[in-house]
Amino acid sequence: MVYLFLADGFETIEALTVVDMLRRAKIDIETVSINQTKEVKSAHNIIVMADKLLDEIKSNDAECYVLPGGIPGTPNLRANETLMSMVKKQNEAGKYIAAICAAPAMILADLGITIGKKSTVYPSFNDEVKNAGVNLITDPAVVDGNIITGQGMGTAVQFSKAIISELRDKDLAEQISDSICFRG
């Protein structure tokens, strides 16, 4: 099971591209609202109905946690202490954590999870993650052990491919990407 966490202000493309591509790959993924309701509003006022509420999930049964970016979505995720405790435990267990855009800086680097690891981030956060001791790589998506990071909205397909490659296999990730990307 993969859980993708949603807070008001999330970046729509970063979240929903992951959900779409993982479901095409037949990977079980559920969206999880950290709000008091399943209704979550994106940074661009798109209303999404999450599959579950945070208190409805079992934190130890996830193969991967996904943290989308967006402002104020990422700060809203970061402010949720229950979720941050879950993210720390997921990392301690060596299970996958995938974060894109602002989330690699505002969550993973801030929690110390990516210190000394390779990571990418939305370019305006480059200095912040380098100063935190993260080995900044400016590729669209980067994998280092159990951590998968992506730069942002324009790299959501590459980020999703990286998740599928890690959770299943690279050939399946390529097939899914080829089926949705026009190469005219």
CATH number assigned to the domain covering 2-174: 3.40.50.880
pLDDT tens figures, 45-104: 999 999 999 999 987 789 999 999 999 999 999 999 999 999 999 999 999 999 999 999
* Prediction pTM value: 0.97
Q: What is the mean pLDDT of residues 28-32?
A: 98
What 3 state SS string does 15-51 have? HHHHHHHHHHCCCCEEEEECCCCCEEEECCCCEEECC
Domain ranges of the chain: 2-174
